[in-house]
Structure 1
Amino acid sequence: MNDEASELKPSPKIDPRLLELLVCPLTKAQLEYDAVAQELISRTAGLAYAIINGVPIMLPDEARDINAVTVAQP
């Protein structure tokens, strides 16, 4: 199988009905879907929950802090 073809496959889309039901596990606030980054964003908690193979990983310990500043190392 061609590796290039597998790289061109679009990321699985999250079901809009599922998005209506999911809330941040910490704040219970609504989540925003970032299709490009494949993340569910909780602005209230400042966290981004990854979506892996179409499955949201709703564990706060696994979430990315969207307020953290990253500094590139030389």
Structure 2
Amino acid sequence: MESHLLEVLVCPLCKSKLDHNREQQQLVCKADQLAFPIRDGIPLMLQSEAISLSSSET
């Protein structure tokens, strides 16, 4: 994921900054405890694709 894209992308639900989890290939919203997967270099920023996180995974 390109760094300049990370500066522009925000959570589609709350508009918070996203953290890039390179290991899991996800963009993480700490505010909503959601992770948006990145597939083939493309972030899937749909609420239906979001993965709910427990507090220990962030």
Shift of the alpha carbon at 1:61?
Answer: 1.3
Q: Structure 1 residue aligned with 2:5, among 18, 23, 36?
A: 18
In the alignment, the residues of structure 2 paired with residue 38 and residue 57 of structure 1 have an alpha-carbon distance, to the nearest angstrom, of: 11
* Sequence identity (%): 38
Deviation string, structure 1 residues 23-55 (Cα, Å, up to 9, x no partner): 000010000000000000000011000000000
Give, in whole Å, the separation in 2 of the partners of 1:16 and 1:35: 12
Runs of 4+ in structure 1 off by over 2 angstroms are: none
Q: Could you say which structure has the higher strand fraction? A: 2
Structure 1 unmatched ranges of 5 or more: 1-13, 69-74
Unaligned runs of 5+ in 2: none
> Could you tell me how far 1:67 is from its partner in structure 2?
2.1
- Structure of greater relative contact order (alpha carbons < 8 Å, 6+ residues apart): 2
Higher CA-based Rg: 1
User: 2:40: which partner in 1?
Assistant: 53
TM-score by length of 2: 0.90
Give the Cα–Cα distance (whole angstroms) in 1 for the partners of residues 36 and 5 of structure 2: 14
- How many matched pairs? 55
RMSD of aligned alpha carbons:
1.2
Q: Is residue 20 of structure 2 the alignment partner of residue 39 of structure 1? A: no
